[in-house]
Amino acid sequence: MGSLKAVLKHPDDFFPLLKLKMAANKAEKQIPSEPHWAFSYSMLHKVSRNFALVIQQLNPQLRDAVCIFYLVLRALDTVEDDTSIAADIKVPILIAFHQHIYNRDWHFACGTKEYKVLMDQFHHVSTAFLELKRGYQEAIEDITMRMGAGMAKFICKEVETVDDYDEYCHYVAGLVGIGLSKLFHSSGTEILFSDSISNSMGLFLQKTNIIRDYLEDINEIPKSRMFWPREIWSTYVNKLEDLKYEENSEMALQCLNNMVTNALIHIEDCLKYMSQLKDPAIFRFCAIPQIMAIGTLALCYNNIEVFRGVVKLRRGLTAKVIDRTRTMADVYQAFSDFSDMIKSKVDMHDPSAQTTITRLEAAQKICKDSSTLSNRKSYIFKRESGYCPALLALLFIILAILYAYLSAN
């Protein structure tokens, strides 16, 4: 749960954090008993705790399919991300990965921590995959094949242009959006969305991650991972790693703001996609990551900390997003609020400023035209607490005791 200091600073985070913790505990208790399914769901909780929570709300067949789809792609991503693997070994594995998922005996040693465990015991994932409906298997195989081929292409090719950037993001995330749309359709609850609009759902999330993870990727050992397109960063510095040096701070912020502005172009498609979802569980599954993405972009925009350390939503705000995202009105409100946050940070002397404002106002117009925005207080913007820290600490202790009691029973 969030740190005591963060909760004292944002006391209204406590109950959403408490609910999130209890939901996580409940989800962990619902892990199936069969060894391959137990491994798959346990691993899902380890590699993406928040994602595991929203998956649990899907209907059982779709939940199993999405769980395995996610783990297969995480395994594929683990191979791609491991910079210690030589290209002549990595490329054939990526290209053939869609065949390995049918082999109960296949595994490959790579990755670190929980990802190493996933790769070492991948046979559990393959066993679970083979129990899915044929329609789900075909969708997962198709996306894995296309993604593996795309990843292999960019092992030997750098991201030079913005078109390259869009193509790379399509392979590693847009295809995920397309695959999920196919799984949703196969479940019988949703229409089959076009590849274009499904692709945008993935690109918005992936571009957010690439922006946020600049420092981690550039400092990767033994070799940097460079996904920011040269067409953008070369306008500001001679080498991509130069953005992290203090003497280049002004240029770094301008480059960062250009990258965020590039990501904003996908908002219209994302809002359109989510507004057409019918199943409430699928809607929350899609909407929560999208809100967290626009929130992360709002934190990253014009923020030099992207080049100095880790920038991410505080745990309490994440808990609020998970707790309060129920309807499309909630999505419109969150996107409008986070767009306001970015607008408040725009320096009109920034070279991308006018384009940034134009894209934000286009997104806000969609939200406003929905006629769902309310005058309620936003949970997104900071509000100073009027409570005494000592009283808050006492409240925290009492609620912690209550939580322990409820958990025990």
What are the residue ranges spanned by the domains of the chain?
A: 26-157, 185-371
351 Cβ contact partners less than 8 Å away, ≥ 6 residues apart: 254, 258
d(CA 68, CA 388): 47
Instruction: Choose the catalytic residue: 63, 146, 225, 324.
Output: 225
Distance, C-alpha 334 to centroid of its chain: 16
DSSP structural state of residue 11: G
The CATH architecture annotation of domain 26-157 reads Orthogonal Bundle (1.10)
Instruction: Choose the catalytic residue: 41, 70, 136, 168.
Output: 168
Q: What is the pLDDT along the chain (409 residues), one digit of tens a residue?
A: 556 566 656 667 777 777 777 776 776 667 788 999 999 999 998 888 767 778 888 998 999 999 999 999 999 999 999 989 999 999 999 999 999 999 999 999 999 999 999 999 999 999 999 999 999 999 999 999 999 999 999 998 999 999 999 999 999 999 999 999 999 999 999 999 999 999 999 999 999 999 999 999 999 887 888 999 999 999 999 999 999 999 999 999 999 999 999 999 999 999 999 999 999 999 999 999 999 999 999 999 999 999 999 899 988 888 899 999 999 999 999 999 999 999 999 999 999 999 999 999 999 999 999 999 877 667 676 544 445 555 556 666 666 666 666 666 5
Instruction: Choose the catalytic residue: 193, 285, 307, 332.
Output: 285
Superfamily of domain 185-371 in the CATH hierarchy: Farnesyl Diphosphate Synthase (1.10.600.10)
- Distance (Å) of CA 61 to CA 133, 181, 184: 8, 15, 11
Asked about 15 being catalytic, the answer comes back as no
Asked about 285 being catalytic, the answer comes back as yes
Residue 33's φ and ψ, nearest 5 degrees, are -90, -25
Q: Within 266-314, where are the H helices?
A: 267-275, 280-300
Asked about 168 being catalytic, the answer comes back as yes
- Distance (Å) of CA 215 to CA 211, 299, 313, 403: 9, 15, 17, 37
The model's pTM is 0.89
Q: CB count, 10 Å around CB of 235?
A: 12
Instruction: Choose the catalytic residue: 69, 129, 193, 212.
Output: 212
**Residue 326 corresponds to which tokens in the numbers above?**
């129920």
Of 233, 267, 296, nearest to 356 by C-alpha is: 267
d(CA 338, CA 260): 13
Asked about 396 being catalytic, the answer comes back as no
Q: Please indicate whether the domains covering 26-157 and 185-371 agree at the CATH topology level.
A: yes
